Amino acid sequence: QIIDGKATAAEIKKEIAEEVEHIVAGGGKRPHLAAVLIGHDGGSETYVHNKVLACEACGFQSTLIRYEDDVTEEELLACVDRLNNDTDVDGFIIQLPLPAHINKQRIIERIDYRKDVDGFHPVNVGRLAIGLPCYISATPLGILTLMRRYGIKTSGKKCVILGRSNIVGKPMSQLMMQKHYGDTTVTVCHSHSANLEEECRQADILIAAIGKPEFVKADMVKEGAVVIDVGTTRVPDPTRKSGFRLCGDVRFDEVASKCSYITPVPGGVGPMTICMLMLNTLAAGKKAYYD
């Protein structure tokens, strides 16, 4: 069965919008998300545009703050400080990647963890690791939500995650390991893993977030496995108007027939990532995790 992330995300955004209207009708505050965009990277422009549209769909207030590529680190830190202190802004994100001259970690650590709806601040990462309420990184949360919405049983299963990034691989492994979330036995593989293909073949749930187009082939997938494809690499395609197409980490045509469930690219995990950012913003507006 193909997991339709686009339809699931639309459903969740509708639920969020209804809750927001209920909050506002009761005299509560409309959630407010701010996004900071540096430069004119095509991918980042698209992501931020989609986040603004998602805010509209959810009934949120949104603010976009733009800087050119030559913004200094001090200017960006000052912007973070302003957003931290702005009581009207419930949550905000600094769109990555940042220009090379800016220390990404310094920026992330300056964000007030109570407004860190991306879930990248060390406090949120640490709270996730020990199972405390927090903002969970949007892509892993989106994957878990998709599996729950499709009624996919995870408890007791073997889950293999390809990739160990701070944004997907590591938080995904935490979520899938913890009893009240995935409750699976987790193996994290990466570019230096020995017997990588053999590890993949043992997976009941295979989550590919390695950033290598069509890396996962049919002979790496167990019959009846659940395959979640996080990859979104732009590959040249002269038949497309844009000149490129989005390609996942899984050879979909080859692998799909072996799976019980699989996410397509595009239309699988991608729409859920932005949707989960909206869910985190709603939680921020409600002060669900932090006063």
DSSP string covering the chain, please?
-B--HHHHHHHHHHHHHHHHHHHHHTT-PPPEEEEEEES--HHHHHHHHHHHHHHHHHT-EEEEEEE-TT--HHHHHHHHHHHHH-TT--EEEEPSSPPTTS-HHHHHHHS-GGGBTT--SHHHHHHHHTT-S----HHHHHHHHHHHHTT---TT-EEEEE---TTTHHHHHHHHHSTTTT--EEEEE-TT-TTHHHHHHT-SEEEE-S--TT-B-GGGS-TT-EEEE---EEEE-TTSTTSEEEE-SB-HHHHGGG-SEE--SSSSHHHHHHHHHHHHHHHHHTTSS--
291 is catalytic: no
222 is catalytic: no
Task: Please identify which of the residues 13, 90, 95, 204 carries the catalytic annotation.
Answer: 95
Task: Please identify which of the residues 4, 13, 51, 204 carries the catalytic annotation.
Answer: 51
Instruction: Record the tokens describing residue 263, joined without a space.
Output: 């996410």
118 is catalytic: yes
Q: Are 5 and 45 in contact (CB under 8 A)?
A: no
Cα radius of gyration (the chain)? 19
Task: Please identify which of the residues 4, 90, 116, 118 carries the catalytic annotation.
Answer: 118
Beta-carbon contacts of 44 under 8 Å, excluding residues fewer than 6 positions away, are 37, 38, 95, 96, 97
What distance in Å separates the CA atoms of residue 34 and residue 82, rounded to the nearest whole number?
11
The residues carrying an active-site annotation are 51, 95, 118
